[in-house]
Amino acid sequence: MKSFFKKATVMALTLAVGMSLVAGCGSDKKDDKAASTKVEGKISASGSTALLPLLKVGQEEFYKKHDKVTINLSGGGSFTGQKQVAAGSVDIGNSDVALGADFKDKGLVETKLVGIPFVFIANKDVPVDNLSAQQYVDILTGKIKNWKEVGGKDQQITLVHRAKSSGSRATIADVVLKGAEFTDAAVIQDSNGAVRSAIATTPGAIGYVDAAYVDSSVKALSYDGVKYSIAAVVDGKYPVYTFGRMFTKGEPKGAVKAFIDYVTSAEFQNVNAEKQGFVPITKMKK
């Protein structure tokens, strides 16, 4: 672990040198052609694993335009991304949760990358299709324990969701629970896929996953009468979403700025975001 951080520091130093070389081309709006001749250097980014697949595509596309830039993408989780960018060991910290209280005064600048919608799913034997916001709160906090209390059959509700360190869980706590606490009486799985398969095989199970993970093995539930769709998120009717964010220490500059500008551009977002189950940031009201 330690040597990893040493490496990261060395990398950051190399990068600082690289960045100072390209610092000259920091003018605000320039077209891609001008940029392709000037942008070079190394970019390191870590954090959210949910955003990683999208950024990997972004990296490949970006390389086609700027072959003198090297981008080093790694995971580690949202909180790790925030911590590392605050410490200066990476250039970009990716996160699907808002900045933690510890990092508020570290001069981090947030750029929103995509909208990340979440969908509540249940086992297919559950006859309920829709729950109200309050019913979700009562189920997640453990107040409602049986499906018959929300119009289903007499069957125990089994909550299947993510660990306390998960960004998805933090989002649901924030957006749906609004401060109330999750019950500890739940089955915990450590990824979206595992949550989905546990729900698919456990009668009476309910949980939430990133919208991209909803498939025919489970039943997608509506939230307050609104069925999830990208349009519903864009219109502001479906509130269960968060933003994928990229944090930089200070305003992004040089190659980092070029990369962030590229992955948030309509050109990239319209093609790739929806394909990966995200809502293009260009369509969202920020």
Partner 1 sequence: MKKYDLDRLRNEKLAKNILLCSAAFLTVVIIALIVFMGQQGLQTFTDVSPFEFFFSTKWNPDNGQYGAFSFIFGSLLVTFLAILVGGPIGVMGAVFMAKLAPKWVCEIMKPAVNLYMAIPSVVYGFIGLTVVVPAVREYFGVPVGFGILTASFILSIMILPTVISISTDALLSVPKMLEEGSVALGATYWQTIWHIVLPAAKPGIVTAIILGMARAIGETMAVQMVIGNTPRLADSLFSPTSTLPSEIVVEMGNTPFGSTWGNALFLMALVLLLISLIMILVVRKISAKKAVEA
Least distance (Å) from partner 1 to the CB of residue 130?
A: 23
Least distance (Å) from partner 1 to the CB of residue 62?
A: 26
C-alpha distances out from residue 178 to 19, 136, 174, Å: 41, 11, 5
Nearer residue to partner 1 within complex by CB, 70 or 191:
191
Least distance (Å) from partner 1 to the CB of residue 165?
A: 4
d(C-alpha 278, C-alpha 142), whole Å: 30
Asked whether the beta carbons of 245 and 81 are under 8 A apart, the reply is no
CA 17-64-69 angle, 5° bins: 5
Nearer residue to partner 1 within complex by CB, 39 or 198:
198
Least distance (Å) from partner 1 to the CB of residue 13?
A: 20
Least distance (Å) from partner 1 to the CB of residue 104?
A: 15
Asked whether the beta carbons of 228 and 39 are under 8 A apart, the reply is no
Nearer residue to partner 1 within complex by CB, 187 or 226:
187
Least distance (Å) from partner 1 to the CB of residue 176?
A: 16
d(C-alpha 111, C-alpha 269), whole Å: 14
d(C-alpha 175, C-alpha 86), whole Å: 25
Radius of gyration of the chain from Cα atoms?
A: 21
Least distance (Å) from partner 1 to the CB of residue 163?
A: 5
Asked whether the beta carbons of 108 and 249 are under 8 A apart, the reply is yes
| Phi and psi at residue 84, to the nearest 5° | -70, -35
Least distance (Å) from partner 1 to the CB of residue 196?
A: 13
Alpha helices in the chain (DSSP H): 2-22, 32-38, 52-65, 78-87, 133-140, 167-172, 192-201, 230-234, 254-263, 266-272
Nearer residue to partner 1 within complex by CB, 2 or 286:
2
C-alpha distances out from residue 234 to 23, 275, 281, Å: 37, 16, 9
Beta bridge partners of 86: none
DSSP string, 188-243: E-SSHHHHHHHHHHSTTEEEEEEGGG--TTSEEPEETTB---HHHHHTT----EEE
Nearer residue to partner 1 within complex by CB, 10 or 185:
185
Nearer residue to partner 1 within complex by CB, 80 or 264:
80
Nearer residue to partner 1 within complex by CB, 3 or 27:
3
Residues found near partner 1 in the complex (CB under 8 A): 1-2, 5, 49, 75-80, 82-83, 156, 158, 163-167, 184-190, 198, 201-205
Nearer residue to partner 1 within complex by CB, 86 or 281:
86
